[in-house]
Amino acid sequence: MDLQTVWFILIGILFTGFFLLEGFDYGVGILLLFLGKDDIDRRLIINSIGPVWDGNEVWLITAGAAMFAAFANWYATMFSGFYLALVLMLLALIVRGIAFEFRSKDERPAWRTLWDWMIFVGSLVPALLWGVAFANVVRGVPIDAEMQYVGGFWNLLNPYALLAGLAAVSAFALHGATFLGLKTKDELLERAEKAAAWLWLPTVVLVLAAMIAGIFATDIFSQRGALLWVVAAAAFVALLAAGWFIRARRHGWAFIMSSLTIALTCITVALGLYPRLMVSSLNPEWNLTIYNASSSEYTLRVMGIIVLIFLPIVLLYQGWSYWVFRKRIGREDELEY
């Protein structure tokens, strides 16, 4: 296994971790206005992710840094081609982060409602755009022989990408509902259970539709033979199992199954892409691959040593933080937000 493949796997792990952790963050933010019937409910919902949401976003920062260090040409092409979409996503994330911090600075209902809406929008927009972005990566975008994106913003808003975006929003909302099933109690828990049960069927329909559309809109299902089909089928089976556990009120297993759905979907995309990083819709010879977009061997080697030293420390710390804040919260608990 060469260094380029190692870094492809590492970046895939970072994005998978990001979508697993930030996915339920987005889902909780999307559900905030629907499940929070009063200020206390909304503060409880925010508290469920309050200790971890900013740590979850570090996975994205690390993935972006790894892209820049290991595959600089991929980073340059993707961030220039998806510039407007990524700026919109960045603005939404900034507003979301500000909302978490500013919401409790004033007790006026109008003030808090404003920032609750900002959390909702700041969660919905990135969830949608991530689905759109990765659908375009596997579908193919106009990239020329110089690794330059030569399309426009509207190239990204094709039917397949929009369908994938809606599937991502629904899947993250379901993931957030199962997370709230682990973190809340009493009436809020009942609402989270009802939300998960209500979201499950639309998520199944949208994910299945996106998978079927992917067979015709992309070539990823022709890669890796039976292995890719097995992984994709396992992702869908995990989603079906999540519905059963939701109805059985097995909150832990429901969350595990929604997590598996997201993780296996990420693996499916990675298997279908490898060794490509971005597909050119103009000419297959102009695809960005782990070889023509790679940094030098020396850079990959040095960065690999740094990752081996610091990644276990980060994982241990984040695991410890989840353990410390593992208990359920209810209206009788002290509220900090």
Q: What is the pLDDT of residue 10?
A: 94
Give me the residue spans of the domains in the chain: 3-324
What span, in angstroms and rounded, lies between the C-alpha atoms of 140 and 284? 9
Query: Hey, is 152 helix, strand or coil?
Result: coil
Query: Hey, is 279 helix, strand or coil?
Result: coil
The one-letter code for the residue type at 81 is G
Q: What is the pLDDT of residue 335?
A: 53
Separation in Å, CA 17 to CA 24, 61, 133, 175: 11, 12, 17, 14
> DSSP letters along 20-77, please?
HHHHHHHHHHHHHHHH--SHHHHHHHHHHHTTTHHHHHHHHHHHHHHHHHH-HHHHHH
Query: Hey, is 274 helix, strand or coil?
Result: coil
pLDDT tens string 92-146? 999 999 999 899 888 899 999 999 999 999 999 999 999 999 999 999 999 999 9
Cβ 259 vs Cβ 175: under 8 Å: yes
pLDDT tens string 142-191? 999 999 999 888 888 899 999 999 999 999 999 999 999 999 988 999 99
Q: What is the pLDDT of residue 151?
A: 86
Q: What is the pLDDT of residue 37?
A: 87
pLDDT confidence tier of residue 337, bands split at 50, 70 and 90? very low
Cβ 179 vs Cβ 25: under 8 Å: no
On average, the pLDDT of the chain sits at 92
What's the average model confidence in pLDDT over 322-337?
Answer: 75
